[in-house]
Amino acid sequence: MSGWSSVKFQELYLTESRNGLNRPKRTRGSGFKMVNMGELFAHERISDIEMDRVPMSDSEIERYSLRPGDLLFARQSLVLEGAGKCSIVLETPEITTFESHLIRVRLNQDVADPQFFFNYFKSHHGKASIASIVMQVAAAGIRGSELATLSVPSPPLHIQKHVACILSAYDDLIDNNTHRMKILEKMAQMICREWFVNFRFPGHEKFQMVKSEIGPIPKGWRAGLLRDMCESIDYGYTASAVEKPIGPKLLRITDIVPETIDWPSVPHCPSPERNPQKYRLLEGDIVVARTGATTGYAKRLNKRHPESIFASYLVRLRIKPEHSNSMVGLLVESDDYKRFIKANLGGAAQPQANAQVLASKPVAIPPSELQAKFSAIAEPLLDQKEILQIKNVNLRQTRDLLLPKLISGEVSVEQFEAKAAQGV
């Protein structure tokens, strides 16, 4: 790589790599934090996040604790692409361990910068290197002994640190934006719950509570079902995704389960030949998963999204103009809605809910004036969240273009800084 020397990965280790602890579910619940496969795949940079807790002896704490800078690799994965996936530990405010499906690599930081090698294993060079040792049996996997023998680049430490610093700056901005997005979402959800579930809306003290078929509600509100606020309830389009960026985006269940829709990763599909507008997604539309383990997961589309249609395993709720789609969207995205759907699922082998069930949740429908007041507060929060999401998309694209060039030495640190100074 541009004249950089290469070494076996194990030559950079401070200690031998280690597989994590095996702790059955029945033993979990108290003790010390444990990084599981779920945390590894959800967080490339692991810090102070919620995890399972497990008991550990003093000797296990000594051998299996994590430190900042430790690299964790997925030892096994149900999908080929997941085998060998690498995350880095940024901080451990308390004693934290890792489970048996993970491999811990602790580098000698006198010769190797952990952030540099974390980014190396994110690059196509590092992924190709990992792919060379993946075994495909019942599940794809790697062995720590073979990971240790991989050939990795070994530029001078000061170059490693400089490259890591440049790339980490992008990750820090992305993490900061993501944190702000979560706060904005939480604020909107809290206001929605206070006003429309707990009935503590502005001036609520003046309203008498009256009986209804769904329980006590403020006078002037009416009891109904989610479907009463819908202009239409529709099933999605049966189509196959295509690799080429031709046609509209095809929004699927897997795209709406994460906290935000990652539009660059949503595939395209041929436009429907008959009545293409029937499946087109518009601002304010809400799509809900109707089958599988994530039945009831939903997303409301805000203002800024590409031309898209929704797939057949989704149901679209289009809200009547006289109702606040931001209010309905937050109600449908809530955990309360997921719990209601889960309690009303049909299907033995495969959980599923038809459109009628998905739109059957009882709701207290507030007066239009109160809905409008809520929209005036919530929509700026949701708009700002979407703007931050777009910024993150751009940051990731820039970082991902830069990553292989810096990691391989194709672009030197000096070249990058010179171009950055020129605004290129």
**Tens place of pLDDT per residue across the chain (424 aa):** 556 889 999 999 999 999 999 988 888 889 999 999 888 888 899 988 889 999 999 999 999 999 999 999 999 876 666 789 999 999 999 999 999 999 999 999 999 999 999 999 999 889 999 999 988 766 678 899 999 999 999 999 999 999 999 999 999 999 999 999 999 999 999 999 999 999 999 999 999 999 999 999 999 999 999 999 999 999 998 888 777 788 899 999 989 988 889 898 899 988 887 787 899 999 999 999 998 888 999 999 998 899 999 999 999 999 999 999 999 999 999 999 999 999 988 655 677 888 999 999 999 999 999 999 999 999 999 999 999 999 999 999 999 898 988 888 887 777 666 665 555 5
Q: Give the separation between CA 226 and CA 195, rounded to whole angstroms.
A: 17
- Among residues 311, 341, 365, which one ends one of the domains? 365
Q: Is residue 276 part of a domain?
A: yes
Q: What is the DSSP letter of 13?
A: B
Do 134 and 55 sit in the same domain of this protein? yes
Instruction: Return contacts of 156-160, CB within 8 angstroms, 24+ apart.
Output: 157/110, 157/111, 157/112, 157/113, 159/413, 160/112, 160/113, 160/116
What's 299's domain CATH number? 3.90.220.20
> What angle is formed at CA 31 by the lines to CA 26 and CA 36, rounded to 5 degrees?
65
CB 378 within 8 A of CB 191: yes
Q: Is residue 261 part of a domain?
A: yes
Q: Is residue 334 part of a domain?
A: yes
pLDDT at 82: 76
Do 99 and 234 sit in the same domain of this protein? no
- Among residues 113, 136, 155, which one ends one of the domains? 155
Q: Is residue 379 part of a domain?
A: no
Do 13 and 149 sit in the same domain of this protein? yes
Look-up of token digits 């171009």: 419
Do 141 and 215 sit in the same domain of this protein? no
Do 218 and 134 sit in the same domain of this protein? no
Do 137 and 222 sit in the same domain of this protein? no
Q: Give the separation between CA 91 and CA 110, rounded to whole angstroms.
A: 19
Look-up of token digits 């400089």: 162
- Among residues 315, 332, 365, which one ends one of the domains? 365
Do 22 and 147 sit in the same domain of this protein? yes
Q: Is residue 386 part of a domain?
A: no
SS3 124: helix
Do 145 and 45 sit in the same domain of this protein? yes
Range of the domain at 228: 209-365
Helices (H), 270-412: 325-333, 335-343, 355-358, 368-408
Tokens representing 106 are 């602790």
Q: List strand residue ranges (DSSP E) for 100-229, in order.
A: 102-105, 135-136, 140-141, 151-153, 209-210, 217-218, 222-225
pTM: 0.81
User: Which has the closest alpha carbon to 105: 118, 120, 92, 90?
Assistant: 118
User: Which has the closest alpha carbon to 72: 99, 105, 37, 39?
Assistant: 105
Do 148 and 226 sit in the same domain of this protein? no
Tokens representing 345 are 């699922």
Tokens representing 69 are 């800078």
CB 242 within 8 A of CB 270: yes
Do 136 and 18 sit in the same domain of this protein? yes
Buried b (16+ CB within 10 A) or exposed e, 50-66: ebbbbebeeeeeeebbb
Do 214 and 357 sit in the same domain of this protein? yes
Q: Is residue 307 part of a domain?
A: yes
Q: Give the separation between CA 358 and CA 66, rounded to whole angstroms.
A: 44
CB 333 within 8 A of CB 188: no
Helices (H), 197-292: 253-256
Q: Is residue 312 part of a domain?
A: yes
Q: Number of structural domains, the chain?
A: 2
Do 16 and 141 sit in the same domain of this protein? yes
Q: Is residue 177 part of a domain?
A: no
Q: Which amino acid is at 164?
A: A
